[in-house]
Structures are given as structure tokens and as C-alpha cells.
Structure 1
Amino acid sequence: MSKILLSSALLLSFGSTLAMAQVQRQPQLQPHSGTEAEHRACVRDVSRFCRAVMDQGDLTVLACLQQYRPKISKACNQVLLSHGQ
């Protein structure tokens, strides 16, 4: 009986350690600045031109959008202008 309890405790301990390791490997989502409307205005442009840097923070995405400024939508360009960019 004690072997069963010990085995169960070890399995539970290992399982929780494994679960914690999996949670720690997931990328942390960073909060974004701007309003929901501003996000909607730029989401297609970010997806189209800046997909590779989307997880690197707002400043990196902003730099990417500025790089593609001639190609981004008028709505997204207006968002950048309204923030002095």
C-alpha cells in the first residue's frame, strides 16, 4: 500500500513539474498600446508586412510599419500620424 502511495506522489510531482515547464516555455503575451480601433486599422498591415516581428514588441512593429509606410493602408498611416510618427 505504501508503495502505491509513494508511486502516486511521485507521478503527481513529476506531472506538475512537467506542466510548469510547458507553461514557462509558452511565449509571454505583451500588452499593446493603442485603442481597439487603432489595432483594427493596422492589423492587416502588421500581418502582411511585419509578421516576422509581431512578437518583438510595439516599438519593433512600429519601426516595421514605418519601413513599409508607402505600402500600408491609409487608415494605419493615419494612426501613425495621430501618434506623431
Structure 2
Amino acid sequence: SGYCIGIPDAGTSSIPVQVCDCEYVPDAYMEILEAESKGLISLIRYENQSQKKRAWIRNTVIQEYKAAEDQPDYRHFLEGKFKDVLENIE
């Protein structure tokens, strides 16, 4: 019923599944920064990315935006996060 989607510890199902556990996280960003400070994860901030990686991110955002013509919520998200990238697209 599920298949590998290439994300560690994640899966999918074509049928409803029962939730067996959950955890409320009031501030996910704070939790991410805390995990970083404990050495549990490593973050590479945008400004520290290589020029090649930044170009890839820019191109990906533009492609995603163009492909999301029928997804106004997703476009709104992209516009909010990548306004500078999307200002001059056709």
C-alpha cells in the first residue's frame, strides 16, 4: 500500500491509515535551531550556498511557480518566500 518516496522515515499509503502517535511542536523553527546547536542536524543557510546551488534553487522556484498555475496556495507560498526571484519572470 505504500512505496518509497526518497525521504528518510517517510512513507505513503493509498488507503487510510490510523495515526498511532503524535507530538505537538509549538515552534518548529526553534526546535530546528536547538537540534542544530546540539549537533543533531547540520544546516546550510541560503547565503552560505555555492553560486551553483543558488542558481539551481532559483531555477527550481521559477519552474515550480510556472507549473503551479492551478495551485494558488502554493503560488502564494512561493511568492511570499521568493519574491525577489519571481519579480521578473514572464
User: TM-score under structure 1 normalisation?
Assistant: 0.26
| More helix per residue | 1
- Report which of the two structures shows the higher radius of gyration computed on alpha carbons: 1
Structure with the bigger RCO (C-alpha within 8 Å, sep 6+) is 1
